[in-house]
Structure formats: structure tokens, C-alpha cells
Structure 1
């Protein structure tokens, strides 16, 4: 049974190492793609800036003779922004809390439908409603603000038969750190209600919904302890299909547990836990008994090997018996006298060098 437990532990450790390597590889790939995406965006930006500088210099030099630039291929899309330039690089999941700390980090205190005010750009100070949030890039779109003329590529125009406009004006992305929530508050002294820019929000009362597998929380204005409700979201339309399971079939009871059998069939348990998995920690009683029997057999075999007598063991055993039969020896007077002489000679030899060194030092003095 110890082997089974050891095998499970080794399998879990190996799986943990494999998962760590996979995570490290994913991070490397993500960083490489993000770096490449940032470089390409920067190259396009520099290219457009150089082209604009050159065009402005030509217009200044030529004056009335400056060429028209809204002709040819750029007849309809002159002065517009390419759609790819509106896609900003993603933020690594380990840095989201640091980059978006002013708006709650991973747990954003802004949501679709909130009224916000812009702190930067040409529409600075204007208020609008959030229509889209991209938390992976730390960007949002505000209704009617930061409008951008976007050039639609031809392949998109061919797909959209209803709208054939090559240029469309739409909301450009705004950084989440460049907006602040606007919420109506009532003054306790005057009783007047007016829109107030909320500088800071704190997330509290976290709750994880196991059914939806989502984390819910509340946002509070610190100091005032006012809970700001989340905006109401429009219900999602659910379409019915022919392959959908009827609710009546779902609610029909097909299994009734009794006292004579467990509430969960053993076959279902085997399917869920994988009876033959190396990560399995719960086993059937028969399997445990078989493994325990194997352990007992292994221990009995070890004991039997220890009790086996080999020729070498027999010789050693006979020698021990002979030494034990002889008993402990006794020292005679003659033996003690000889031992004393040896000790005296050894002591004299140890003292002699010291005496010679003292005499030599006296002569030198």
C-alpha cells in the first residue's frame, strides 16, 4: 500500500512541475507576442508621423502649389485611422493589479452602463456612459466621446451588405485610468442632489458564486460609506433550438436513493474518479486488502531472508560461541609487571626530548 501512496505523491509532484513548466512557456510566448504587437504598432505610428511631417513640410514649402492628398486610393479614407491602430497591447495578468490599481485592479469598480467623466484628451470634462470595457487591455469606450473616423477594410465591407460606408465614425478606446465615475449624491445640508465625480472607490463584500463561477463584490465610497449600486444590465436573449433538452425532462427524477444502496452508483463514482488513475487517493476495499496482503508477503519474505543461515553466518556463529566459551581472560603478576615496564619506557621516551631542549637552551644562554 505504501507503493501506491508513494506513486500518487510522485504523480502529483510531476504534474505540478509539468504545470509550472507549461505556465512558464505560456508566459514566454505571451511576452514575445506582446512585444511583437507593440513593436508593430509603434512602427505604424512612427510611419504615420513621418508621413504627416513630410506632408506638412511640403505644404509649407509649396504653398498654393501643394498637391491634393485626398485623391486616388485615399479619396474616401484620407485623414482616417486604421482599425488596427485602435487595438492596444494586452496587460499581463501579473501586472493588472498594478496598472489598474486606481480602478480596482482585477476587481474593476467600473462596469458597462456607468456614467463617467473623461480626464484627458479633447473631450476632457465631458460625461458619457460606458458602452464597452476591455479589462485585458485596460481600455473602455464611452458613448459619444473620443470619436474617431475609422477606415473599414474592403473585406469587411464585402461581408457587411447592409452598410457599405468605407469610413465610419465610432468611439475610440479610452484608458480606464483616464476616467472617473460620476454618481448623483444628495447634500445632507441643502437636500440638493447633483452629479459628483467620485475620486476613489473601494471594493468590499466579496462573494464567490459556485454555480456561475463568478466573484461578486460591492463598491463603496470611502469616508461616506455609501454603496454605489452596479448599473442594471439588459437581459440576454436566449434562443431556443431543436436540440435543446426540454425542462420537463431535466426535472424528472430518474434515480431514487434507498437505504439498501448508496446515493451515488459505483459505476458513476468510477467514471468521476477514474478507477485506474495514478492520482487516485480513494480505493475500493478489495483493492486495499490486496495491497495490504502484498505488503505482508513482502515483510515475511524479508524476515525469512534475515533468518536464513549461510555458510558465512555459520562460521561467524561458531566463532562467537568459542569466544564466549573461553570467557574473559585474567592477568597474572608476570603480565602486570611486563605491562608496567612498557608504560615506564614509553613515559621516559616522551619526557626525554623536553629535557634535552631545556639543556640546549641553558648552554646557549
Structure 2
């Protein structure tokens, strides 16, 4: 039985190592894909920038004779960007944590539905509602703001899509570093309510639900101690379909477990997993009894081999009897004297090797006579 347990442990460790290698490979693949995409986007931006510089130089030199560039293949595409540049690149964990730290870090104080103001760009000063939020890119998409024209390749337009336009206008995400939360506050003196840009928001009243594994908290403005409510969530209305199961059918009790019959029979695990699998930790009583019988026979065989008489065992027994007959040895005075001389010589040589002067015998005391 111990061999079966050892085999199970080895199999679990091997599976854990295999899973670790697979996760590392997936991580490397994701990093390589992100790096290739980032390099492509950066190269595309540099190409557009170089072409724009050449066009500007050409327009300056030719003046009224400068050619029109919104003709031919660029009739509809002039001023558009690649679809891959519409969204930012995924950030590294450290950089992402540093950007999200002013917004609460792991427990964000900004969610979809909040009103924010843009601090830079062509829509600077405009207030919009967050339509989408990306934690990996540290970006927010504002409804109707920061619009751009994106050219969609033909291979990205599916046959089932209703929108077949190659040029589409969409909201370009904005970095969270370029937005600030906006909240309407009422002036206590004048009674006028107006939008105020909130520079900092902190979390308060953190509460963890151990049953669901979720956390809830409130966000307040430090100093003013004003609580900012979370935006209301739109209620999703479910539409009943003919294939849906009625609630009364779901709640009807069709199985009542008893003390004699468990809710899940023991044979289910045999159906889900091989009966003699190396990962199995529970076995049938007959299988356990057979393995224990094998262990007992092995132990009995070991004890029998120890009790068996062999020529080597007989020789060792005779040698032990001879040593016992001799008895314990005794040290004579002559032997003790030689041992003392040998110890003194070794001690003196060790002191000389360490650079210590030789020992000098103490002089006899001198007695003064009157």
C-alpha cells in the first residue's frame, strides 16, 4: 500500500511540474505576442510620422502646386489610422500598478458609468461618461469623446456582420493619467450646484464577504469627508425563450437523500476516473486489503531472511564469541607512561608550529636563611 501512495504522490508532483511548464510557456507566448504587436504599432506610428514630415516639406516647397493626397486609394482613407493603433498596448505589471495606485490600486475607485473630465488632447476640458475600462492597458473609453477614424481591413469584416463599412468612427481610449473624476457639489453659502473636479479619492469602509469572495467599499473625498456614490447599474431584463426551463421545474425536489444512500454514490468516481489511476487517492476496500497483504508478505519475507543461517553469519558469530572470551583489556603503568610521553611530544610540536616558545619547568622555590 505504501508503494501505491508513493506512486500517487509522484504522479501529482509530475502533473504539477507539467502544469507549471505549461503556464510558463503560455506566459512567454503572451509576452512575445505583446512585444510583436507593440513593435508593429510603434513602426506604423514612425512610418506615419516620417510620411507626414515629407508631406509637410513638400507642401512648403511647392506651395500652390502641392499635390492633393486625398485622391485615388486614399479618397476615403485619408486621415484614418490602423485598427491596431486604436487601443493602447498592455502594460507591464509594475507600470500598471504605478498608474492605478492614485485610483486605489487593487480596489479601484473609478468604474464604468462615472463622469470624468479630459485634461489633455483636442477634447481637453470636456466631460464624458466612462463607457469601458481596461485594467491591463490603464485606459478608459469615454462615450462620444476622442473620436477617430479607423480603417478596417477586409479580412476583419465577417460575412455575418451588418456593418460593412471599411472606415468607421470610434472612441479612442484615454489613459487614466489624463482624466479626473467629476462630481456635482453644492456650495453651502450660495446653494449653487456645479461640477467639481476631484483630484483625489480614497477608499473607506472596506468589507470582505467570505462566502462570495468579493469586497465592497465606499469612496470619499479626503478633507471634505464627502461620500461619492457609485453609479447606478442598469438592470438587465431577461427575455423568456421557448427553450428556457421554468423556475417551478427547477425548484421542484426530485431527489431526497437519506441516511442509507448518500447524495452521490461511490461508483461515480469510478466512472469519472480510472479505478487504478495513479492520481486516485481513494480505493476500494478489496484493493486496499490486497495491497496490505502484499506489504505483510514482504515484511515476513524480510524477517525470514534475517533468521536464516548463512556461512557469513556463523563466521561473525564465532568472531564475536572470541572477542567476548578475551574480555576487556587493561592498561599497565608502562603503557600509561608511553601514552603520556607521546601526548607531551605532540603537544610540544603543535606549540612550536603555532609559534609558541617551549615550556620551561618551574624553578624550585628558594628559601632565605638568616
* Structure 1 and Structure 2 fold alike (TM over 0.5): yes
Q: Secondary structure at the match of 1:263?
A: coil
- TM-fit CA distance, 1:145: 1.5
Relative to 1, partners in 2 of residues 1:165 and 1:200: Cα closer, same or farther, differing over 3 Å?
A: same
Question: Shift of the alpha carbon at 1:154?
Answer: 4.5
Partner SS for 2:148: strand
Report what 2:130 is aligned to: 130
- CA apart distance, 1:347: 5.7
Counterpart mapping for 1:256-267 below 5 A? 256-267=256-267
Give 5+ residue unaligned stretches, structure 2.
Answer: 349-370
User: Residues of 2 paired with 1:80 and 1:341: CA distance?
Assistant: 107
> For residue 252 of structure 1, what is the aligned residue in structure 2?
252
Per the alignment, residue 15 of structure 1 pairs with 15
* Number of equivalences: 343
Which residue does 1:29 correspond to in 2? 29
In 1, Cα distance between the equivalents of 2:273 and 2:64? 81
Structure 1 spans left out of the alignment, 5+ residues: 355-365
Q: Provide Cα deviations, 1:198-241, integer angstroms capped at 9, x if missing partner.
A: 22333453546866xx7343242253555433322333454555
Number of the residue aligned with 1:77: 77
CA contact (8 A) 1:116 1:129 kept: yes
Answer whether contact 2:208 2:214 (CA < 8 A) is retained. yes
How far, CA to CA, are the matches of 1:85 and 1:190 in structure 2? 47
**Residue matched to 1:97:** 97
- C-alpha displacement at 1:22, in angstroms? 2.0
Question: Residues 96 and 137 of structure 2 are in contact (CA less than 8 Å); yes or no, is this contact kept in structure 1?
Answer: no
Q: Does the CA contact (< 8 Å) of 2:116 and 2:128 recur in 1?
A: yes
Deviations 1:60-103 (A, max 9, x none): 10111111111111112212223222132223456532342233
**Paired residues for 1:1-365 under 5 Å:** 1-92=1-92, 96-154=96-154, 159=159, 166-186=166-186, 192-203=192-203, 205=206, 207=208, 215-221=214-220, 223=222, 224-238=224-238, 240=240, 243-270=243-270, 276-324=276-324, 326-328=325-327, 340=334
CA distance in 1, matches of 2:266, 2:78: 70
Shift of 1:9: 3.0
Q: What's the offset of the Cα at 1:7?
A: 2.9
Deviation at 1:266, TM superposition (A): 1.7
Any idea what SS the aligned residue of 1:117 has?
strand
Secondary structure at 2:56 match in 1: helix
Counterpart Cα distance in 2 of 1:42 and 1:225: 44
Could you tell me the TM-score, scaled by structure 2's length?
0.77
Higher share of residues assigned helix: 1
Give the Cα–Cα distance (whole angstroms) in 2 for the partners of residues 225 and 308 of structure 1. 88
SS in 2 for 1:8: helix
Q: Distance in 1 between matches of 2:269 and 2:22?
A: 30
**Cα offset, 1:115, TM superposition:** 0.7
- The answer on whether the counterparts of 2:150 and 2:167 sit within 8 Å (CA) in structure 1 is yes
